[in-house]
């Protein structure tokens, strides 16, 4: 390992090598610059150190040295993977290949609404560059904007504008393979192609999907489609009165998305989230005795709060986008649909309209609780403090059918498991036309770590028994999730191993990522 760090230092400079994990990462929670998981679920794995290349050529050189010395690398873009392991590797003692210094916005096209970015470009960076150039574009951002555009996309992350399905917005990749070779996908495989960020398919086999949540390569450039700024915008909320009204709420939202009435992904949150983040002094006072380690807020307390405040049990957030003539018509269609659904109530803010012949800027809407206008924020970072100073979180994130009844059944099981574990269920459903991402955000203090690990394993087991698995997972549970994909004796996992053997015969690149190893197994490199 010392020899690896010496060789890396000669390539990228000693200042860009961390020979232990204590320093060198981007500033994170509480200003810490250490590598690893800021909210560790187990203490069995941590990185040995880190290297921070600045260019594709430096990445290639580092990978070749790692192959020669059999040093496992764990690739991160910016290391902001909160709730899923941060920059912690699966294999203890791996070296973090930290790409945050590769932070160029290679290109932004206002005409064709795309950007090409390197791994270190954050959602804040892209947003601020668009504002600086006064471009008529909105970028899709996740709930917390300090993460990598490229990294979020490769982990199948999402945002809240009409282009919020980031895997769909992606077009074109540049990839360093585990051997150090350089590859471009799609139309980028053609020299001097003008279609790298415009046509994803390319010619012949399409391989972009091989590099999502995988350890088959290191993506160093990514094309990403942006949303043209609309003429008009309307922020909407649909309130569901009772707990059981989740059923008609989900059914209605999914149908309206399929019918193109709603153009982005609604997020559905529960009464606990509403109460916790309300900033209402009376609500905070009522919650206070039930917030803390080994506690959870009783249902009757939440019921009393919501009836006094006139809140529903569930609230869906989404927006309408389009030309000046279209958004009011969409709003009328939405009003008619909600009025016909039992237990649901619509609250719509006034339509925001650009001057004639102009388009809206994101700041015409401003920073919102959920960034439907593409304005990045760090506001949600403080929510974990409600449990204990320095508390963290992990996310259990199953993919579910867009069926209200099936989601409600899943929710009741997950809710009881969560109550039994003495934590609060912070629910956040993200509704798409033909699937729903259900995120249960579990906030915990370090003294509760073992109990949270058991809760997560139980939630995984319950979901699998119901026919569901997660869209991404914490590094501590990647092998557990891989076991869900057992069709035909685990044929998919075996196929992934064969690919890993060919592309990464030494098993040096992110071993164990998504439960994929080479045939040497869990020994890593």
**Which residue numbers are catalytic?**
84, 471-472
- Are 351 and 234 in contact by the 8 Å Cβ rule? The answer is yes
* Of residues 481, 482, 525, the one with CA closest to residue 500: 525
CA–CA dist 448, 422 (Å, integer)? 10
**Alpha carbon distances (Å) from 481 to 70, 185, 279, 459, 508:** 27, 28, 37, 11, 22
CA distance 416 to 424: 10
DSSP string, 76-130: ESSS--TTTTTT--SSTTPEEEE-TT---EEEEETTTTEEEE-TT-BHHHHHHHH
Reading the block at residue 484, the tokens are 């869900």
25: DSSP letter: S
Residue 257 gets the label, from left (phi > 0), alpha (psi -120 to 50) or beta, of: alpha
- Taking CA 382 as the corner, what is the angle to CA 379 and CA 385, rounded to the nearest 5 degrees? 165
Q: How long is the chain? A: 525
CB under 8 Å to 85, separation ≥6 — which residues?
A: 37, 474, 475, 476
- What are the structure tokens assigned to 98, written together? 């930290």
Rg (CA), the chain: 23
Cα–Cα dist 208/170, whole Å:
9
């Amino acid at each position: 390992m010392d020899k690896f760090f010496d060789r890396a230092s000669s390539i990228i400079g000693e200042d860009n090598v961390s020979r232990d994990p204590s320093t060198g990462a981007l500033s994170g929670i509480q200003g810490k610059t250490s590598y690893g998981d800021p909210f560790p679920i187990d203490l069995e794995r941590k990185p040995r150190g880190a290297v921070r290349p600045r260019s594709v050529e430096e990445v290639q050189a580092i990978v070749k040295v790692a192959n020669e010395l059999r040093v496992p690398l764990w690739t991160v873009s910016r290391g902001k993977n909160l709730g899923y392991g941060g920059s912690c590797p699966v294999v203890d003692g791996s070296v973090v290949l930290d790409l945050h210094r590769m932070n160029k916005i290679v290109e932004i096209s206002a005409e064709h609404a795309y950007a090409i970015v390197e791994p270190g470009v954050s959602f804040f960076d892209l947003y601020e560059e668009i504002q600086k150039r006064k471009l008529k574009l909105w970028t899709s951002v996740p709930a917390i904007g300090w993460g990598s555009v490229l990294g979020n996309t490769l982990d199948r992350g999402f945002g809240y504008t009409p282009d919020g399905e980031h895997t769909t917005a992606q077009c074109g990749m540049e990839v360093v393979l585990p051997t150090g070779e350089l590859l471009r996908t799609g139309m980028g495989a053609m020299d001097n192609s003008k279609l790298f960020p415009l046509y994803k398919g390319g010619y012949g086999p399409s391989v972009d999907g091989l590099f999502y949540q995988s350890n088959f390569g290191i993506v160093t450039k990514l094309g990403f489609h942006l949303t043209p700024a609309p003429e008009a915008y309307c922020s909407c909320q649909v309130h569901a009165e009772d707990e059981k009204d989740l059923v008609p709420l989900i059914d209605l939202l999914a149908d309206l998305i399929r019918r193109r009435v709603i153009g982005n992904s609604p997020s559905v949150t529960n009464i606990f989230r509403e109460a916790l983040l309300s900033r209402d002094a009376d609500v905070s006072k009522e919650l206070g005795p039930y917030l803390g380690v080994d506690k959870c807020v009783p249902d009757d307390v939440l019921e009393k709060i919501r009836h006094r405040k006139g809140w529903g049990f569930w609230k869906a957030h989404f927006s309408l986008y389009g030309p000046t003539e279209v958004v009011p018509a969409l709003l009328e269609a939405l009003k008619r649909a909600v009025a016909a659904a039992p237990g649901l109530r619509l609250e719509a803010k006034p339509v925001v309209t650009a001057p004639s012949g102009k388009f809206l800027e994101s700041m015409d809407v401003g920073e919102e609780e959920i960034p439907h206008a593409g304005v990045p924020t760090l506001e949600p970072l403080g929510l974990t403090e409600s449990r204990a100073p320095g508390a963290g979180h992990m996310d259990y994130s199953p993919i579910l059918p867009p069926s209200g009844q099936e989601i409600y059944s899943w929710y009741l099981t997950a809710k009881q498991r969560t109550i039994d574990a003495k934590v609060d269920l912070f629910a956040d459903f993200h509704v798409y036309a033909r699937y729903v991402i259900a995120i249960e955000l579990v906030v915990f203090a370090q003294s509760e770590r073992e109990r949270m690990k058991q809760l997560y394993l139980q939630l995984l087991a319950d979901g699998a028994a119901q026919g569901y698995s997660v869209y991404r997972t914490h590094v501590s549970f990647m092998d557990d999730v891989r076991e869900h994909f057992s069709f035909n004796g685990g044929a998919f996992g075996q196929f992934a191993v064969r690919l890993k053997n060919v592309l990464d015969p030494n098993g040096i690149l992110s071993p164990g990522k998504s439960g994929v190893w080479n045939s040497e197994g869990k020994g890593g490199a």
